[in-house]
Amino acid sequence: MECKSVDLLKEKCSPESYEKLMKLNNVKLHDFVTKYVELCNPDSVYVCNDSDEDKQYIRNKAIENKEEWKLAIDGHTIHFDGPKDQARDKANTKYLIPAGSNLGSLNSIDKTEGANEVHGYLKNIMAGKEMYVLFFCLGPTNSEFSLPCVQITDSSYVGHSEYILYRSGYEQFNNIGDSPDFFRYVHSAGELENGVSKNVDKRRVYVDLGDNIVYSTNTQYAGNTVGLKKLSLRLAINKAAKEGWLAEHMLLMGIHGKNKRKTYFAGAFPSACGKTSTAMLKGETIVGDDIAYLRKKDGVIYGANVECGIFGIIQDVNTQNDPVIWDTLTNPGEAIFSNVLLTEDNIPRWLGDGREVPNKGINYNGEWIKGNEVSYAHKNARYTVSLYNLKNTDPKLDDPNGVEVKGIIYGGRDSSIWPPVQQAYNWAHGVVTMGASLESETTAATLGKEGVRVFNPMSNLDFVAIPIGQYVNSHIKFAQEVSSPPLIFAVNYFQKENNKYLTGMEDKRVWVKWMEQRVNNDVGAIETPTGYVPYLKDLEVLFKEVLNKDYTMQDYLKQFTVKVPENLEKIERITEIYKTKVKDTPEELFKILKEQKERLEAAREKHGEYISPVIFAGNKQA
């Protein structure tokens, strides 16, 4: 390192922080930190290692800097983002790509232009502030899944959130020596006004795939600032495509069957579509609720949770819907609440919590009084908790080998097409008709209009860092060397008739049990033109065993009738997207969609447009 750089670091760091940084014998790391110390110009730099003292320092700073406030329950704090900083900013999240490169329809900007812009915003942005340098590991440590990361930020709230959500990574950097193979993040909340980012018009989230760097400026909302979350997913997808593994927007969970059997599933759902509530189902165990890495080893697919915490949507978390999370959020233990209502007695309140609407409090807009036209909490309000604090966390959370994945679930908000659960014919059929064809109705988790049906392959479109055609093709080919690939399923918790949901909140407990039984060959299934669906008799047993609830033929027909017109329209939509908007779509996708179309048309010719599953059961009792 040049003398000028050494002098700068010694000037900004305490002797202890300087020693912690220099202990990591990695020139690329030192150069990275030095570059942004010089550019951002903080008053001081605090370097964190894996010690409890450093973690507590960040927690204390979050309170001292008024980024968080203590709540009545021990360990609980609250954070507010500004009124215009409540969700992921998709429009201003862009890839920095070199001249001549092409990411198809993905949101991108010329690398030189984008880097100049964001570096302009970062110039002196931390003047008067303290910079934090933190180290984390994506995936279990000392594992094939491990990806070391360094975060630079001036937000103690961001640092605190990451300490809850991710495994410490200082020692992981010791393990990689002078390797340049690590992810880098630079974030600043920018100028603050009333404790929130003031210049949201200069909010930028830029991803440099070539150098594995994420830049985030003038924002506090964790989806834009916690670099290791969805921003890391973009870097990991690009890395995985080069190395032959998958980085996915997926839960990981253990579904418990008969005779103490446990079967691990991964599942991809867009935000606010039931992913966390599925991972947290009563009677099952959670490995992760959001992001998973999938790797092949000895002809088997294994998955690992990238994180060790949950940044979850808090709306509708109550004693009935999410009892485990409710218990965590109403008892002592470390938890951050964001964009909920702070009441006079320092108790957080959120939409759908099952309690009487409060009379007044403070929310992300300021003081709130009952009757105000602005909701007392935001629809995208969140909680941040550690998985280690949950009673249902799976014991293999930190297993360096990951867990063997035997089933994959795709789900979204679909009011009119998919049944509650169905199984693909095979891996490629599932990847194409369930994963690559996934559509979902938009929610408050992203900026823009709600309720719009959007194309969202693998529920990962916002984060895919390679051309979509290549991404789909990598999925199709991923299982080619796997002797018994995971079974693929599609679920839909949001079927409607006359604007009323056809399934209950807890019915998903039955659908996952049926999937677990299918993976283990416990029950048969009915072959329909779009996949396999349950027999009525098996659902009758499961609803009684799991929910102590009767399941009727009327329920069955409403939920599992094959809707030929809607399915055909969907195939036309998806085919058109892949023909006109996606580069290098694999021919196998068109072939599989064409075959599905032909099956539906043949069924319509024989049975009509809306076909009871009983008809497809033939001589077997449905």
pLDDT tens-digit readout, 385-401: 999 999 999 999 999 99
Question: Annotated catalytic residue: which of 13, 48, 149, 273?
Answer: 273
Q: What is the pLDDT of residue 278?
A: 93
Asked whether the predicted pLDDT for residue 446 surpasses 80, the reply is no
273 part of the active site: yes
| Dihedral sign, Cα of residue 397, residue 399, residue 400, residue 405 | negative
**Domain 311-389: CATH superfamily, name plus number:** Phosphoenolpyruvate Carboxykinase, domain 2 (2.170.8.10)
Sequential DSSP letters for 212-255: TEEEEES---HHHH-TTTHHHHHHHHHHHHHHT-EEESEEEEEE
Of the chain, the percentage scoring pLDDT greater than 70 comes to 97
Q: What is the pLDDT of residue 594?
A: 98
Q: Helix 536-547 crosses helix 508-519 at what angle (to 10 degrees)?
A: 120
Asked whether the predicted pLDDT for residue 552 surpasses 60, the reply is yes
- CATH 3.90.228.20 range(s) for the chain read 246-308+397-617
pLDDT tens-digit readout, 424-442: 999 999 999 999 999 988 7
Give the pLDDT band (50/70/90) at residue 454. Answer: confident
Q: In CATH, what is the architecture of 246-308+397-617?
A: Alpha-Beta Complex (3.90)
pLDDT tens-digit readout, 479-535: 988 989 999 999 999 999 988 999 998 999 999 999 999 999 999 999 999 999 999
What's the residue count for the chain?
622
Lowest mean pLDDT among 113-127, 151-165, 447-461: 447-461
Give the pLDDT band (50/70/90) at residue 227. Answer: confident
Give the pLDDT band (50/70/90) at residue 452. Answer: confident
Give the pLDDT band (50/70/90) at residue 144. Answer: very high
101/523: higher pLDDT: 523
Asked whether the predicted pLDDT for residue 352 surpasses 90, the reply is yes
Lowest mean pLDDT among 14-18, 345-349, 374-378, 440-444: 440-444
Model confidence, pTM: 0.93
Please give the Cα distance from 524 to 536 (Å, whole number). Answer: 11
Angle at 535 between CA 531 and CA 541, to 5 degrees: 135
Give the pLDDT band (50/70/90) at residue 538. Answer: very high
pLDDT tens-digit readout, 193-204: 888 999 999 999
Q: Look at residues 502, 498, 538, 500 and name the one whose alpha carbon lies nearest to residue 518.
A: 538
Sequential DSSP letters for 370-438: TT-SS-SS-TT-EEEEEGGG-TTB-TTTT-TT-EEEEEEEEE---SSSS-SEEE-SSHHHHIIIIITT-
Angle at 360 between CA 356 and CA 363, to 5 degrees: 105
Mean of the pLDDT values across residues 452-464? Answer: 89
Please give the Cα distance from 72 to 361 (Å, whole number). Answer: 14
Asked whether the predicted pLDDT for residue 576 surpasses 90, the reply is yes
Q: Helix 111-122 crosses helix 27-40 at what angle (to 10 degrees)?
A: 60
Cβ density class 76-105: b for 16+ within 10 Å, e for less: bbbbbbbebbbbbbeebbbbbbeeeeebbe
Angle at 278 between CA 272 and CA 516, to 5 degrees: 145
pLDDT tens-digit readout, 276-335: 889 999 999 999 999 999 999 999 999 999 999 999 999 999 998 888 899 999 999 999
Asked whether the predicted pLDDT for residue 445 surpasses 80, the reply is no
Q: What is the pLDDT of residue 102?
A: 75
Give me the chain's average pLDDT, please. 94
Q: What are phi and psi of 498, to 5 degrees?
A: 55, 40
Give the pLDDT band (50/70/90) at residue 619. Answer: low
For residue 314, give the amino acid letter: I
Tokens representing 509 are: 């407990």
**Domain 3-67+90-243: CATH superfamily, name plus number:** Phosphoenolpyruvate Carboxykinase, domain 1 (3.40.449.10)
pLDDT tens-digit readout, 409-424: 999 988 889 999 999 9
Mean of the pLDDT values across residues 76-105? Answer: 89
Give the pLDDT band (50/70/90) at residue 447. Answer: low
- CATH 2.170.8.10 range(s) for the chain read 311-389
